[in-house]
Structure 1
């Protein structure tokens, strides 16, 4: 109480008044991990506040993949029927062009013994709105939009909340525990000064969408050219393209202009050449600086990082969102009881946070290692002109033993350590 009063006095001076408030768990970032975690903790009866810096969830080229394990989670939470009403397309296969002009199926999700053996392609804002709406029905849940967090509050070496901006001015929120779900450029992660290990990545991604009258296919088809590669994601009414080029190329690409970009992309994607004319300027092409890193320690007294805030993932396989959601489920299951009992407000509470890292570190490290192998063995060889088609032996083996395509499908769609919703969070549809 004395500490709270001291804060209130310190933050009120002159013409500026900073509003002081309190919650049990402050979650920074209203992405999939933040909202799933907030929903789960609220269903445990914990007072939880999610701070999201934007006014809404409407942003292009966020990860739109909802993997089979996340679809199963929505089932467990009683949300799948509502999710099924959202506009979406389903991917059941990942294929690449073969040396003989055919297609080689690398991953076949339909072989997985799951209720939902596919990846659902859904605009992420629709998924986030669904999660936010479900969480809003819980009395202990609060979502603060347009509340960008600017740093953490410390009491000695312990994080005791966050500072934020808002449309009515700056403020601060004290909390027993602060959880960073604010992505690879996490303000909380930087403010808490948690050490990270970064792995080199030699390529970036340029995202754009191409209008298409073709009906949405059920296969994701990477394209390989000379020193070029792209992944074409089928969507209803358009194709979402992720084009891979060498890191550092963005300034030169933008200097050459949209006409050159359309010409180069049409050479790689001749079947989309007509639709590429719809790119009116380089503003239609979004650059993603690909990073792969991992915090050596995901926590400090009073603060925990999960998802991309703890481990930035490559877009390869689209596993980042799935991994972040599973982090959130594990964190909710392991922390709900100590949060409810007030044990995370004490100085020796880091042992509870360490359990989350121990649970999630191995699957994270395995998937990052797999991504880095694909970077070196496939992507960089393509971008340096050493590979233009998959190895013929790979196609030969997969054609004769198609059951092998279930292995990459499992790694992409489920992951090495899938998480199930805790019993207290489950609902019937």
Structure 2
């Protein structure tokens, strides 16, 4: 969004080249990291995604046609320890959670097949400067919980288009118009990040730091509360719509 944006700074604010700007961020530390890898699908496998929670382990599987894209969730900071334990130990721990992968786990032979994702979550205090607007991952890094990052990036873009399309056509964007985009999108971002943090601490951290079977909180058994996380993930807090 940096190109074609101009602004009249206030007397207290002077435009600064973007490469000299430092953006202050608010960071949190999710309790997990993720190992991503792929294994082949077999006839008779489930269709669509699936997830498993075991003693100290979480595995999510995404259907990619003839392959499973698999996320193996580990406690934050334990990647080097897992590597030191060796590939065979990793394969064994995966099969303990998803026994159906026993017949293909040997396809996982080398660490180059595994992508390590250090999970982070943060948001900028201010998303804009004269001539510059940051949205999506540039403005707020989402935890992978719920897979909401792309949803919120698209909604940021929708709001930015609604607010800035007319000023851009006129060839002049005021600073307060950039601020308006952040005002409309910051609260939904803060709410979903708080929701992700709650899930990470109440469910993920408890699973990863325990060898006991997970007992889901009682509130998840209430139908209207049980459905709330899915609605937040699917539609966001305040869904954005393109104005025509």
Q: TM-score band (shorter)?
A: 0.7 to 0.9
Give runs of aligned pairs for residues 191-206 of structure 1, distance below 5 A: 192-206=21-35
Contact kept? 2:219, 2:225, Cα under 8 Å: no
> Which stretches in structure 1 are left out of the alignment for 5+ residues?
1-21, 27-155, 162-187, 424-429
Aligned-partner Cα distance in 1 for 2:68–2:151: 22
Contact kept? 2:40, 2:68, Cα under 8 Å: yes
Kindly state the Cα deviation for residue 392 of structure 1 after the two structures are TM-superposed: 7.6
Corresponding residue for 2:142?
313
Aligned-partner Cα distance in 2 for 1:216–1:273: 13
Higher strand proportion: 1
Corresponding residue for 1:24?
4
Corresponding residue for 1:381?
206
Q: Judge which range, 362-371 or 269-278, deviates more.
A: 269-278
Aligned-partner Cα distance in 2 for 1:329–1:392: 36
Aligned-partner Cα distance in 1 for 2:150–2:230: 16
Of 297, 307, 325, which residue of structure 1 is paired with 2:126?
A: 297
* Offset from partner CA, 1:58-106 (integer Å, 9 cap, x none): xxxxxxxxxxxxxxxxxxxxxxxxxxxxxxxxxxxxxxxxxxxxxxxxx
Higher helix proportion: 2
Of 54, 79, 84, which residue of structure 2 is paired with 1:225?
A: 54
The 1:318–1:215 alpha-carbon spacing in structure 2 relative to 1, beyond 3 Å, is: farther
* Structure ranking higher on relative contact order (CA contacts 8 Å, 6+ apart): 2
The 1:343–1:354 alpha-carbon spacing in structure 2 relative to 1, beyond 3 Å, is: same
The 1:290–1:416 alpha-carbon spacing in structure 2 relative to 1, beyond 3 Å, is: same
Kindly state the Cα deviation for residue 376 of structure 1 after the two structures are TM-superposed: 0.7
**Given the alignment of the two structures, is residue 252 of structure 1 paired with residue 89 of structure 2, yes or no?**
no
* Offset from partner CA, 1:113-172 (integer Å, 9 cap, x none): xxxxxxxxxxxxxxxxxxxxxxxxxxxxxxxxxxxxxxxxxxx942567xxxxxxxxxxx
Aligned-partner Cα distance in 2 for 1:210–1:204: 20
Corresponding residue for 2:186?
361
| Equivalent residue pairs, number | 237
Q: Judge which range, 385-394 or 404-413, deviates more.
A: 385-394
* Offset from partner CA, 1:257-301 (integer Å, 9 cap, x none): 322221221112211122211112011111111001111111111
Runs (4+) of structure 1 exceeding 3 A deviation are 214-220, 392-395, 403-406
The 1:23–1:317 alpha-carbon spacing in structure 2 relative to 1, beyond 3 Å, is: closer
Of 386, 411, 414, which residue of structure 1 is paired with 2:232?
A: 411
Aligned-partner Cα distance in 1 for 2:74–2:3: 45
Aligned-partner Cα distance in 2 for 1:408–1:243: 21
Kindly state the Cα deviation for residue 246 of structure 1 after the two structures are TM-superposed: 1.0
Contact kept? 1:378, 1:387, Cα under 8 Å: no
> Which stretches in structure 2 are left out of the alignment for 5+ residues?
7-12
Aligned-partner Cα distance in 1 for 2:228–2:44: 28
Kindly state the Cα deviation for residue 210 of structure 1 after the two structures are TM-superposed: 1.3
SS at match of 2:4: strand
Please report the TM-score for the alignment, with normalisation by the length of structure 1: 0.51
Give runs of aligned pairs for residues 168-207 of structure 1, distance below 5 A: 192-207=21-36
Please report the TM-score for the alignment, with normalisation by the length of structure 2: 0.87
Kindly state the Cα deviation for residue 388 of structure 1 after the two structures are TM-superposed: 2.1
Kindly state the Cα deviation for residue 201 of structure 1 after the two structures are TM-superposed: 1.6
In angstroms, what is the RMSD of aligned CA positions?
Answer: 2.5
Contact kept? 1:208, 1:286, Cα under 8 Å: yes
The 1:25–1:388 alpha-carbon spacing in structure 2 relative to 1, beyond 3 Å, is: farther
Q: Which has the larger radius of gyration?
A: 1
